[in-house]
Amino acid sequence: MRRRAILDGAAEMLDQMPVADLSLNELSRRVCLAKSNVLRYFESREEILLELLDRGFRECADEISDRVSAIDPHLPVTERGDRLAAAFAHALRDRPILCDLIAAQPGVLERNVSPEVVLHYKRSAHAILGPLVATVRTVVPELGENAWSVCMMSALMAAALSVHSRPSPVVLAALQADPALAPLFPDPATYLETTLATLVAGTLVRSGAQL
């Protein structure tokens, strides 16, 4: 129960602040536990964030699998590819916290943890991706072995767009002073599906599919 309370408290904090601003001291205060008690359940702040990433990634993968499974496998390959991109886009853009965690994973989440913790979550991610990749290959078999890279790159592109679409107050002030700079700040709802559709179409061509 305490472990769950810690995770729920961290998730609430991420609704209010970026990943980098979440501190163990503030989290401890919010869940009414001493910092030393929090560290009985997690070895560091980063492990807490990795657990949230794992939980969010699993939920997202389940939603994507459901959406992909609903695609008619008899449609032309280009239309199946576009619907595949839409399935990823809809699931990912509705999860900005997950995208933030994915973006922070190599530079923050995996820096203050033991090799055992990294191994645990890497194995978990591999286990989550495996069934998703299999579903994608069932619906768009033309992707072949490249289905794995499509799944991986879709998450990374969503994370990158999510980060860049939320400029700081200083940048917003600059944008207000010069509205012509607006194209430098992509809207995930507008750009993500198009970006992922381009990724899928390009991968199909490289895979030798007849479009």
- Number of other CB atoms surrounding residue 143 within 10 Å: 25
Same domain, residue pair 82 and 159: yes
- Count of the separate structural domains present in the chain: 2
Q: Are residues 129 and 94 in the same domain?
A: yes
CATH of the domain at 185: 1.10.357.10
Q: How much of the chain exceeds pLDDT 90, in percent?
A: 69
Q: Assess if residue 211 is contained within a domain.
A: no
Band (pLDDT 50/70/90 cuts) for residue 208 is confident
Q: Are residues 2 and 61 in the same domain?
A: no
Q: What is the pLDDT of residue 183?
A: 81
Q: What are 29-68's pLDDT values in tens digits?
A: 999 889 888 888 999 999 999 999 999 999 999 999 999 9
Q: Are residues 69 and 170 in the same domain?
A: yes
Written in H, E and C, the secondary structure of 23-46 is CHHHHHHHCCCCHHHHHHHCCCHH
Q: Judge whether 93 lies within some domain.
A: yes
- The kind and range of the H/E element at 204 are helix 188-206
What is the extent of the structural domain holding 195? 44-206
Task: Say which CATH number the domain at 13 has.
Answer: 1.10.10.60
Considering the domain architecture, whether residues 96 and 131 belong to the same structural domain is answered as yes
Pair (118, 19) in one structural domain: no
Q: 169 and 71 share a domain?
A: yes
Q: For residue 211, what pLDDT is reported?
A: 66
pLDDT, tens only, 104-137: 999 899 998 999 999 999 999 999 999 999 999 9
Among the listed residues 154, 146, 169, the one whose alpha carbon sits nearest the alpha carbon of residue 102: 154
Residues 187 and 121 in one domain: yes
Cβ 157 vs Cβ 199: under 8 Å: yes
Q: Which residues have C-beta within 8 Å of that of residue 9, sequence separation ≥ 6?
A: 27, 30, 31
Q: How far apart are CA 128 and CA 40, in angstroms?
A: 27
Could you tell me which residues come within 8 angstroms of residue 198 by beta carbon, excluding any fewer than 6 positions away? Answer: none
Instruction: For the chain, give the mean pLDDT.
Output: 91
d(CA 82, CA 193): 8
pLDDT in tens, 149-203: 999 999 999 998 888 777 788 988 988 899 888 887 777 667 899 999 999 999 9
Q: What pLDDT sits at residue 2?
A: 87
Model-level pTM greater than 0.95? no
Average pLDDT over residues 86-91: 96
Flag whether 91 is in a domain.
yes
119 and 80 in one domain? yes
Q: Which of 176, 185, 132 is nearest to 154 (CA)?
A: 132
Q: How far apart are CA 100 and CA 21, in angstroms?
A: 12
Q: What is the DSSP letter of 75?
A: S
Give the phi and the psi of residue 171 in degrees, each rounded to 5. -70, -40
Q: Are 68 and 91 in contact (CB under 8 A)?
A: no
Q: Is the domain of 54 the same as that of 16?
A: no
